[in-house]
Amino acid sequence: MKLKDLFDLKGKVAIVTGASSGLGTAFAEAMAEAGATVVCVARRKDRLIEVAEKIKKIGGKVLVIPTDVCKEGQVKRMVSETIKEFGKLDIIFNNAGITGKPVPVHKYTLKDWNDIITTNLTGVFLCAREAVRQMVKQKSGKIINTSSMFGQVGNALFPTPAYCASKGAISNLTREMAIEYAPFGINVNAIAPGFFRTELGGADAWDEAIKILAPTVPMHGVGVPDDLKGTAVYLASRASDYVTGHILVVDAGYTAR
């Protein structure tokens, strides 16, 4: 097989959650650019339609399914509609998530904790569970979860305890699922991004945060979502067929210090 063929996703069907903005939009575009049919998932239908239109302009095939990943029934419908439309599911990016405002543990409310854990961790569990049920039948599939470098280390600059806890749990859920489903030919890996400029924190918050964050990153400062496209295609393609249970940290050297 030629090198370029290892990264070719033609004929593949990929779900991307949290596709309405930030890293999710970049993952959806990357799948389409590599040839996959993309199912764009998020709560905001209007934003999903905008992303879908961009994908169509580059010749990609796309389906929009508004979904709240915290709701079990909606997640089941997301996967069943994908199977009904395309007959299979090859790839899923479990990317939907929230960060919350920086607050230390002693000031953290139970509601804020539960909101973030439910979205970031339970949402990944529900989506991964429904996807893997189909992939077991196919005896193939790629599951890519979005963790964070703060699933590996603490975040003293901007304390976000529930976010860090959820991302650490996602990393270990990734390892657990990788072992469970290796016999079925299913790869389960995670991307652990470092500092990337997205809409999660809001534009004003990011302008202030970047002044503090950029000097702490050994290489290139703060990243942009497109910096993760190559990583996304690698983990979704045949190029990573011998890789599972891996947390691929993309942080420009932050955790290497």
Q: Reduced to 3 states, what is the DSSP secondary structure of residue 95?
A: coil
Catalytic annotation, residues: 163
Distance between CA atoms of residues 192 and 166, nearest Å: 12
Dihedrals φ, ψ of 65, to 5°?
-130, 95
Tokens of 13: 């069907």
Task: List CB contacts of 203: < 8 A, sequence separation 6 or more.
Answer: none
Tell me the H-state helices in the chain: 3-6, 22-33, 45-57, 72-86, 110-117, 123-138, 161-181, 203-213, 229-236
